[in-house]
Amino acid sequence: MDKRTFIKGLASFLGITFLPIPIFAMDKEKNYSVPKEKLYLEFWDKIRNDYQLNPDFINLEGGYYCMLPQPILENYLENIRKVNYLHTFYKRKLMANDKAKIIQKLSDYLQCSADEIIITRNTTESIDTILSGIDWKAGDEILYGKQEYPAMIAMIQQLAKRYKIKPVEVNIPFQPQSDDEIINLYKSRININTKLILVSHIINITGHVLPIKKICQMAHEHNVEVIVDGAHAIGHLDFKITHLECDYYASSLHKWLSVPLGAGLLYVKSKHVSKIWPLLGDNEYPNHDIRKLNHTGTQPFAVQLTIPFAIDYLNQMGIQNKENRLKSLKKHWYQKLWNLKNPNLVFYSPVEENRSCAIGTIGIKNMNATDLADKLLNDYKIWTVGIDFAGINGVRVTPNVYNTLDEMEMLYHAITKLI
């Protein structure tokens, strides 16, 4: 029995514990008297085996960009060979058709229209395309969280110098009591000049999942548009872009969707496309065509060609299954440390299950973030990243589907020793 058949069998059998995945076929050879918990663990072991993991450390730094599982890596290598072999014939004769198919596949996955998305190189390019393409007037205001990604804050500051717009910052609480607390925070800073809210779907330094749909609904009541920084969300959370009701959405597909480095996404609600200036000049497409925003020169075709395979790989795992697994990995160390009620621990990520997923950030009082990350690596062989920014002084821990509950247990014990 090959690995894929085995995983398919497991997934369809696991029922409530593990959501059924329609494309998986029941495997008749399997002994189904095995307890569900065991099958659940075996399923994730099989996924883990798809990765070539470095035995020198436990990798809990999956938040920067993804490690490709071997099947996706192989597909990527095939695509590199194909593009190299066909050379310019590929670009001149085949690429446009392939690109249309890739866009269609992505838009089906995200449940938006194919003419509302383009493939960029990353979130930074996607967000800056919109920020620099809006017709700003002096005095316009842009509202954003203190914990937004630094490159976006830098772009806002540049716009402020260039167009005399006003940046307005809100400080997002680490442990909000309710969605309303967050909505009201943004609402309290809106005025007649507010033009745009920039908000992360998942805050990168805390893993905080924000109530995007409610923020968008509130903003629209005040005629304010919303651009969502979803760098971490596609392939991490189970959601569809259009359900969020946002105006613009940006993501890096090389993070949680497991696409090779150099793939991002920009969604623009169709009614907004005409008013956005392209960052780089374009004479190829009419003003209402989103492709005018994608004129960034020769692109990494092999990376883009790997997107459909990465979507298929994720669909076989099931995004809801993946989200649940990531949540349980986080809970396994974070909730347990939270329950200790130790005054020397500082919790920067929400503990509430619906306000976070894989990422958890934690600090130890009187210990510098970099020192804590170094101690975890040198003394316990656990690879994380120290964050000392926007009021955070701790390590960001980001497990992915290749991590095990045992590894999270080891992290838990390491931190209890270090307190």
Ligand X SMILES: Cc1ncc(COP(=O)(O)O)c(C=O)c1O
Question: Residues interacting with ligand X, by CB under 6 A?
Answer: 122-124, 149, 200, 204, 229, 231-232, 252
Residue type at 354 in one-letter notation = N
Angle between helices 319-339 and 405-418 in degrees, nearest 10: 20
Tell me the closest approach of the beta carbon of residue 148 to ligand X, in angstroms.
Answer: 7
Nearer to ligand X, 257 or 276 (CB): 257
Tell me the closest approach of the beta carbon of residue 152 to ligand X, in angstroms.
Answer: 6
Nearer to ligand X, 123 or 393 (CB): 123
Tell me the closest approach of the beta carbon of residue 60 to ligand X, in angstroms.
Answer: 15
Half-sphere exposure of 97 (CA within 13 A, CB side): 5
Contact 99, 395 (CB under 8 A): no
Contact 168, 185 (CB under 8 A): no
Give CA angle at 193 (188, 196), nearest 5°: 75
The total number of residues shown for the chain amounts to 419
Tell me the closest approach of the beta carbon of residue 62 to ligand X, in angstroms.
Answer: 11
Residue whose C-beta lies closest to ligand X: 204
Beta 264-268 vs 248-252: how paired, if at all?
A: antiparallel
Tell me the closest approach of the beta carbon of residue 150 to ligand X, in angstroms.
Answer: 9
Helix (H, G, I), strand (E, B) or coil at 201: coil
CA gyration radius for the chain? 22
Rounded CA separation 416/410 (Å): 10
For the chain, how are helix, strand and coil distributed in percent, rounded to 5?
A: 45, 15, 40
Helix (H), strand (E) at residue 362: strand 360-364
Residue with tokens 């800056």: 128
Beta 392-397 vs 385-389: how paired, if at all?
A: antiparallel
Rounded CA separation 13/5 (Å): 12
Tell me the closest approach of the beta carbon of residue 352 to ligand X, in angstroms.
Answer: 20
Tell me the closest approach of the beta carbon of residue 89 to ligand X, in angstroms.
Answer: 31
Tell me the closest approach of the beta carbon of residue 65 to ligand X, in angstroms.
Answer: 7
Residue type at 399 in one-letter notation = P
